[in-house]
Amino acid sequence: MNLTEITLKETKEGLKKGKFSLQDVVTAFKNRIKEKNKEINAVISVVSDFRENKNLPLYGAVFVVKDNILVKNEKCTAGSKMLEHYIAPFDATVISKIKDAGGVIIGKGNMDEFAMGSSTESSAFGATKNPLSLSKVPGGSSGGPAAALASNMCNTAIGSDTGGSIRQPAAFCGVVGMKPTYGTVSRNGLISMSSSLDQIGPLTKTVEDAETIFNVIKGKDKYDSTTVDIHKKGKDKLRIGIPKEYFVDGLDDRIKKTIDKAIEKITVNLEEISLPYTEYALPAYYIIMPSEISSNLARFDGMRYGLEKGRPASDSILDAYLKNRGDSFGREVKRRIALGTFSLSSGYHDAYYLQAQKVRSLIFEDFQKAFKKVDLILTPTTPNLPFNIGEKIDNPVSMYLSDIFTVTANLAGLPAISLPCGEIDGFSVGAQLIAPRFCEEDLFNGAKMLEKIWWK
């Protein structure tokens, strides 16, 4: 048995029956990282310490954690030179829960700098490659954890999702990626990108494994005032809606055909629905998100946080500030800070930011109306297959379009999951399920049903 290729559930069963030890599992993954990481560049740093906690829900779970989530006494770079030498002083709440449940953190995953990107090419520590084809991107911004999981460097991973950063790389790498309802998982210890959009969630090999992780990391946290303890009981019968706005020009014909074939296999009630404000989601997202970035990244000045380059006596504080941020932030980070600062500036706030927030409300109302008719909504996860490394890095608008099917769930605060529904030329095609707020039970039940139908 290859311990790096089995699922979390299978690992737990093998440990319980005494077929192998946790040390065997951890050693196998460490050896796999040594073997594969040089060519894939999915893991930035390896975490060596772990505790043996038997008979716990995550005993046997070995994680690669996105490098914007704090793990005590380990580096947390957020993929940026600004935090290249930053050591986390405490565990993020999700990390504490994982450790308390018996999980092992084996490594920190590469990512787009400060989670800004859809390809994991903007990392200051080099691009991550897609294990399915080393010439392709793994998606982003959680490309490192997704690629690590897909290449068997771990049996589960943790990422953050602001506009699709878990689900899009899950689709590109052929794994399962889940974004919870906003407020169900604590963001304490997550280096903020966009505070009203960010959520932490699992990447796994199966839907059942994702559910196992979610049930451990969810819950109210005194360190995050946005968290709540709300859980809606699942329904016996599920109706699935197919939004016509997601099957339009811009969607790769091959993906459309694959999704259509997958839909034909579904035996539960299907209904065509409309989400008319979908076309405005991406423009609204790319105003709201950079505006919050502009505020959240103001703290990184190289003096209180981040890389301290020193300030000669002749330099003013402003000169030092500009030098530290100018030298330490990458191009995409600077682009989004500038865009956000402009959107919030005097004379433009009402015209851009306020209007984007109004569109956000309309998008949420769209979903509320749709969920009166159906229980889940099925869409493609991405409009295209994995693209070549370097293909879109100089074309930000083309790169931003990678998020076109995923940003709506973040804007509305809804739970969503991506799972493989077919293959094209060796690449996985991801299908996305979206549920009403706090209806994770329905989301997982629907996804497990589809997983059985599509991969039986």
CB 156 within 8 A of CB 209: yes
Which residue of the set 165, 194, 418, 428 is catalytic? 165
- The answer to whether 66 is a known catalytic residue is yes
Question: H or E element: which one contains 159?
Answer: strand 156-161
Full DSSP string of 226-273: T-----PPPPSS--EEEEGGGSSTTS-HHHHHHHHHHHHT--S-EEEE
Helices 143-150 & 22-40 angle (0-180, nearest 10): 120
Helices 93-100 & 207-217 angle (0-180, nearest 10): 110
- The answer to whether 38 is a known catalytic residue is no
Sign of the CA dihedral with 449 first, then 452, 453, and 454 last: positive
CA angle centred on 40, ends 132 and 119, rounded to 5°: 75
CA angle centred on 223, ends 220 and 229, rounded to 5°: 10
246 residue type, one letter:
Y
Which single residue is written with the structure tokens 């979610």?
214
- The answer to whether 328 is a known catalytic residue is no
> How far apart are alpha carbons 412 and 86 in whole angstroms?
33
364 residue type, one letter:
F
Which residue of the set 36, 66, 97, 108 is catalytic? 66
The single-letter DSSP state of residue 180 is P
Q: Could you tell me the CA-to-CA distances from 242 to 62, 246, 343, 372 in Å, in that order?
A: 36, 8, 34, 14
Which residue of the set 80, 96, 118, 141 is catalytic? 141
What are the phi and psi torsion angles at 65 (to 5°)? -110, 130
Helices and strands of the chain, counted as H and E runs: 14, 11
| Residues whose CB is less than 8 angstroms from the CB of residue 303 and which lie 6 or more positions away in sequence, other chains included | 320, 321, 324
Sign of the CA dihedral with 413 first, then 417, 421, and 426 last: positive
Q: Which residues are catalytic?
A: 66, 141, 165
